Amino acid sequence: MTIKPAVRISDRKLIVKDRTILSGVPENVITSSGSSSGPVEGIFLGAVFDEEKSRHVLPLGTLREVRFMACFRFKLYWMAQKMGDHGKDIPLETQFLLVETKDGSQLESDDGNEENQIVYTVFLPLIEGSFRACLQGNDNDELELCLESGDVETKMSSFTHSLFIHAGTDPFGTITEAVRAVKLHLKTFRQRHEKKLPGIVDYFGWCTWDAFYQEVTQEGVESGLKSLAAGGTPPKFVIIDDGWQSVGGDPQEETKDQNDSNQQPLLRLTGIKENSKFQNKDDPTVGIKNIVNVAKEKYGLKYVYVWHAITGYWGGVRPGVKEMEEYGSLMKYPEVSKAVAENDPTWKTEIMALQGLGLMDPKSVYKFYNELHSYLASAGIDGVKVDVQCILETLGGGLGGRVELTRQYHQALDASVARNFPDNGCIACMSHNTDALYCSKQTAVVRASDDFFPRDPVSHTIHIAAVSYNSVFLGEFMLPDWDMFHSVHPAAEYHASARAISGGPVYVSDEPGKHDFNVLKKLVLPDGSILRARLPGRPTRDCLFTDPSRDGISLLKIWNMNKYTGVLGVYNCQGAAWNTVERKNTFHETKSDALTGAIKGRDVHLISEAATDSNWNGDCAIYCHRTGEVTILPYNAALPVSLKVLEHHIFTLTPIKVLAPGFSFAPFGLIAMYNAGGAIEELKYEVLKGDCGGELVGKVFTEVKGYGKFGAYSSTKPRRCIVDSNVVDFVYDLPTGLVTFNLDSLPEEGKLHVVEIEL
């Protein structure tokens, strides 16, 4: 008997678990087993071409009538999601493709016969040698593989490992396995769980960008810290964004022609140290250390980060500046790939394309990073937000190509961050290309989408959809950062609630004095800490292939996990999306009425891990944050949810523990917080031998972070509730089973409330 590989090419078809995904696979496509990269059911694809070129496009076969979700770059710097069911729908610059075969149902895929299960196939276009691969569709419904070096002199004709294909019945597990197999093959990056997370992810922060843009000053930074702390939500980290560095335009004679076209000169870095705005007026030599000391000593911040571009500044490092000569900066003009230019036609008028960039010699860039970062570290800076990262792929001409240049810069950056910022203080930004992802060994936090745009109404639903779908892919490499937001804004709670369940850092960019503390106190505890969920927030399994931005019928559901609860956010994101014709984000017609969907306990993909019993029956208690309603949801039962555009719900889901017949319990946590269950750090049940005749049946022991109103479901009224050895008053709502009591004080740092509930 011959055992067939789960993923194989046979009779010019790509077959996954005996189902055809692609037909008409060309003869020049070659395969290699994925088994050498660990026990994974997958294959690597490559191809042999007739001649060496710097760019190849290869049809891989016809894809029809299978649903897919693609993460593609709609701009040079950023990805978004696109769904469809034919090859022609797959966008240019697709870097991640998940395909569903439609046999079977979601129900069967949990524990039914595998032949009837839904199968999820992951396509990962890779880095091979000096070439980077991506996917795209054509008008004949063919899936194409595009291979390019970004340098006309860097050519190849033979490829063996340019695309990895893996399949399984658990979509999230299958993706993790696929990325792990690629990691073992490439040996150039590490996965999220292998990296040290910086401390900022567990605290509330403030970023100066939308508050001041490049006009930020020391006085502005202090005023923002002061007003947030005064309202009871003290930030514990700040990101001093663009505006602190020493920069300048090119000398006048060089910019004469540019100025004739009424274009502002592109600023370039002229020195390592801060500009005059960030110098102490009494003693300029103190430098940026002055505001760092103010932040930490006066306002109790734990971390201060600053911004810089991966090339130093937007326009790079200015050539000819004496203090910067050692970095070997030369002017280069970015050349974007054909697919990026087609997706983002505005690039040809981009200021960098017209005025060029001062690119440091790759051999000198470690020296630059180390001197910059060591200066910042000596001033008390704890980390950096490194921006504009994808620009490197456009500058590889004459330098060995995009992959090689990106690798050299990232190795230098990783080494400097490791040396100078022991907390691994680095956020990757504008970095959504696989050139960077597949060489990411150090950085553990990545911005998940294009910016939060406070003044652009088309952007808000798009933002929530993009961060969640991008996190499906990005979350395998780093912890996704869903970006800053404004607490005073028409969409403030829409954004705030999403950040609460994102699993990533939580920070605002409010102008000083313009804060909604009612919103912020649902995110932030009085000590500046947050209730962070344990994983990257991602769409639920049944949302992976629906289109909650465009289809007019689907709600977006986002799941995450705490130790003993799950959390589910439901969002209406309809009405705006990236427009494939106009090549920009636009509104489109949508119904003004509410859309109705449904939630189930198992929408939280790993909810069984929150159960204290290995034989848990699947029943959940659900708390709705917005309405305060409690619902008991048996396994596979559904709760309807109706929302209008820009509306949302947050649900805490807890597995129900049956202590004895008629005695059930499920804690929710701090129910005034969006992610209530993130407060529960420990949970144990003790079942006693008492009967139902008034004797004690059981005890619930839980340890809780923070303070505020604690809520739980109990099928019977508790006998008493004890907090830190003191019996406390509680309220029990008989119709719903909701029991609540107050945790009146904040425990000392590092300590928890000890709660005991007798049933």
3 state DSSP class of 391: helix
Distance, in Å, from the CA atom of 585 to the CA atom of 80, rounded to the nearest integer, reads 11
- Cα 392 to chain centroid, rounded: 22
Query: What's the pLDDT at 109?
Result: 45
> Do residues 395 and 354 lie in contact, with contact meaning Cβ atoms separated by under 8 Å?
no
- Do 689 and 710 reside in the same domain of the chain? yes
Dump pLDDT digits (tens) for 141-159. 999 999 999 999 999 999 9
Distance, in Å, from the CA atom of 470 to the CA atom of 627, rounded to the nearest integer, reads 30
- Do 560 and 673 reside in the same domain of the chain? yes
* Ranges of the chain with pLDDT below 70: 1-4, 35-40, 102-116, 253-262, 689-694
Find the Cα–Cα–Cα–Cα dihedral 743, 748, 752, 756, rounded to 10°.
-50
Amino acid at 183: K
Distance, in Å, from the CA atom of 186 to the CA atom of 170, rounded to the nearest integer, reads 24
Distance, in Å, from the CA atom of 93 to the CA atom of 90, rounded to the nearest integer, reads 9
**Residue at a domain's end among 430, 447, 464:** 447
- Do 161 and 30 reside in the same domain of the chain? yes
- Residue for token digits 């020493």? 246
Give 632's strand partners. 621
CB-based contacts of 37: which residues, under 8 Å, 6+ apart? 181, 182, 184, 185
> Do residues 755 and 718 lie in contact, with contact meaning Cβ atoms separated by under 8 Å?
no
- Do 560 and 627 reside in the same domain of the chain? yes
The interaxial angle of helices 459-474 and 171-186, nearest 10 deg, is 60
- Do 96 and 130 reside in the same domain of the chain? yes
Dump pLDDT digits (tens) for 540-599. 999 999 999 999 999 999 999 999 999 999 999 999 888 888 888 888 877 778 999 999
Q: Would you say residue 324 lies in a domain?
A: yes
Q: Would you say residue 731 lies in a domain?
A: yes
Distance, in Å, from the CA atom of 645 to the CA atom of 628, rounded to the nearest integer, reads 21
Whole-Å CA distances, 200 to 304, 532, 562, 582: 9, 11, 18, 39
State the Cα angle at 179 between 677 and 410, rounded to 5°.
Answer: 95
Burial code (b: 16+ CB inside 10 Å, e: under 16) for 128-147 equals bbbbbbbbbbeeebbbbbbb
Distance, in Å, from the CA atom of 642 to the CA atom of 597, rounded to the nearest integer, reads 6
**Residue at a domain's end among 423, 447, 471:** 447
The count of domains in the chain is: 3
Indicate the burial class of 150 (C-beta count within 10 angstroms; 0-12, 13-18, 19 or more). buried
Query: What's the pLDDT at 108?
Result: 44
- Do 134 and 193 reside in the same domain of the chain? no
Q: Would you say residue 520 lies in a domain?
A: no
Query: What's the pLDDT at 252?
Result: 75
Distance, in Å, from the CA atom of 385 to the CA atom of 368, rounded to the nearest integer, reads 16
Query: What's the pLDDT at 18?
Result: 87
- Do 164 and 19 reside in the same domain of the chain? yes
Find the Cα–Cα–Cα–Cα dihedral 345, 349, 354, 360, rounded to 10°.
-60
- Do 124 and 164 reside in the same domain of the chain? yes
Distance, in Å, from the CA atom of 449 to the CA atom of 429, rounded to the nearest integer, reads 9
**Residue at a domain's end among 447, 480, 512:** 447
Query: What's the pLDDT at 668?
Result: 98
- Do 639 and 678 reside in the same domain of the chain? yes
Q: Would you say residue 327 lies in a domain?
A: yes
Distance, in Å, from the CA atom of 307 to the CA atom of 221, rounded to the nearest integer, reads 14
Q: Would you say residue 15 lies in a domain?
A: yes
3 state DSSP class of 156: strand
Whole-Å CA distances, 565 to 289, 538, 623, 629: 42, 16, 11, 17
Distance, in Å, from the CA atom of 465 to the CA atom of 376, rounded to the nearest integer, reads 36
Q: DSSP states of 175-189 as a string?
A: HHHHHHHHHHHH-S-
Amino acid at 169: T
Query: What's the pLDDT at 253?
Result: 61
Q: Would you say residue 456 lies in a domain?
A: no
- Do 423 and 554 reside in the same domain of the chain? no
- Do 580 and 633 reside in the same domain of the chain? yes
Distance, in Å, from the CA atom of 410 to the CA atom of 388, rounded to the nearest integer, reads 13
Q: Would you say residue 436 lies in a domain?
A: yes
Q: Would you say residue 222 lies in a domain?
A: no
Residues spanned by the domain of 357? 189-199+242-249+266-282+309-447
- Do 565 and 676 reside in the same domain of the chain? yes
